[in-house]
């Protein structure tokens, strides 16, 4: 059986579109898990590229004609790099919840409790995994991936080879983005940070008034117990605020891409 390409420009346009989609998808929540088979990631990227190609075909073909088929590697590098940047910033939004879980683990006193997660190939603590997977379930069940895919689709028109310097012209946006992510992590962990400071203050007063008490051992038990009770009490509000922050940051990011 002979396979022939009837329109080289259309084929190359689809290929460079696929290179952006696969670079984004490999970094999205759930798909970045090493337990997801590689063939699933590639086929899902192919299906997304195929589904959105009719809308992006005109822009991609114009880029191919601009550089010529012989210089298609330039477009491959550009779209792959753009996809990596888009996916990385989406992943950074999810990372702020992992950072929040790390802060909570430290504050409650579980800093010594960690294990190697083969699905992520890294050391994680109990709160990091709890918060991350709860957020993934909320994102998937709420349909938040739909506007994410829409944002990637619109990025083909706003960030393409014809205006390749757009991302380089606005470094202040990325500074504000990472600053906002750090502030959001501190905000989410704020109640437990404050509770831990209050507990340390109380234990300091107890140590002065009852010097024969083993304050270190008592404070360790109280920090864990009080921290867990407090997290149970604020759990519903915590995840609601976390989801709102995720949607807000994701919306700001793709609004920036669309302009």
Q: For position 1, what pLDDT does the model report?
A: 42
| Among the ranges given (114-128, 142-156, 168-182, 192-206), the one the predictor scored with the smallest mean pLDDT | 114-128
pLDDT tens-place string over residues 23-55: 888 887 777 666 777 888 888 889 988 888 888
Q: Distance between CA 23 and CA 188 in Å, rounded?
A: 30
* Residue 143 reports pLDDT greater than 80: no
Which own/partner pairs from 30-35 qualify as long-range (CB within 8 Å, at least 24 positions apart)?
30/136, 30/140, 32/91, 33/119, 33/120, 34/118, 34/119, 34/120, 34/121, 35/118, 35/119
Domain ranges in the chain?
8-109+116-258
* Residue 230 pLDDT greater than 60, yes or no: yes
**Residue 122 — φ and ψ, nearest 5°?**
-160, 165
Give per-residue burial for 33-47: e unless 16+ CB within 10 Å, then b: eeeeeeeebeebbee
Question: Mean pLDDT, to the nearest integer, of 159-180?
Answer: 69
What is the full DSSP assignment across 46-83?
HHHHHHHHHHHHHHHHHHHHHH-GGGHHHHHHHHHHHH
pLDDT confidence tier of residue 232, bands split at 50, 70 and 90: confident
pTM: 0.71
At 97-136, the pLDDT tens digits run 777 777 777 767 665 555 555 555 556 666 677 777 777 7
Token duo for residue 238: 């915590």
- 3-class DSSP assignment, residue 27: coil
């Amino acid at each position: 059986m002979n396979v022939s390409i009837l329109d080289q420009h259309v084929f190359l346009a689809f290929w460079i579109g696929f290179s952006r989609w696969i670079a984004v998808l490999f970094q999205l929540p759930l798909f970045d898990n090493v337990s997801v088979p590689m063939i699933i990631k590639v086929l899902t990227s192919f299906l997304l590229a195929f589904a959105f190609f009719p809308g992006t075909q005109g822009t991609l073909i114009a880029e191919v004609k601009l550089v010529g088929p012989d210089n298609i590697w330039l477009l491959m590098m550009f779209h792959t790099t753009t996809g990596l940047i888009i996916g990385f910033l989406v992943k950074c939004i999810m990372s702020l919840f992992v950072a929040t879980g790390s802060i909570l683990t430290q504050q409650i006193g579980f800093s010594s409790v960690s294990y190697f997660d083969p699905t992520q190939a890294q050391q994680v603590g109990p709160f990091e995994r709890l918060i991350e997977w709860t957020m993934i379930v909320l994102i998937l069940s709420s349909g938040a991936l739909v506007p994410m895919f829409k944002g990637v689709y619109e990025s083909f028109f706003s960030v393409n080879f014809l205006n390749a310097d757009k991302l380089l012209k606005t470094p202040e946006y990325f500074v504000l983005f990472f600053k906002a992510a750090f502030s959001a992590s501190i905000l989410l962990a704020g109640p437990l940070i404050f509770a831990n400071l209050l507990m340390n203050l109380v234990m300091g007063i107890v140590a002065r008034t009852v010097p024969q008490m083993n304050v270190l051992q008592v404070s360790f038990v109280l920090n864990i117990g009080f921290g867990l009770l407090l997290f149970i009490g604020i759990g519903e509000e915590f995840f609601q605020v976390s989801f709102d922050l995720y949607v807000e940051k994701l919306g700001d990011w793709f609004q920036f891409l669309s302009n």
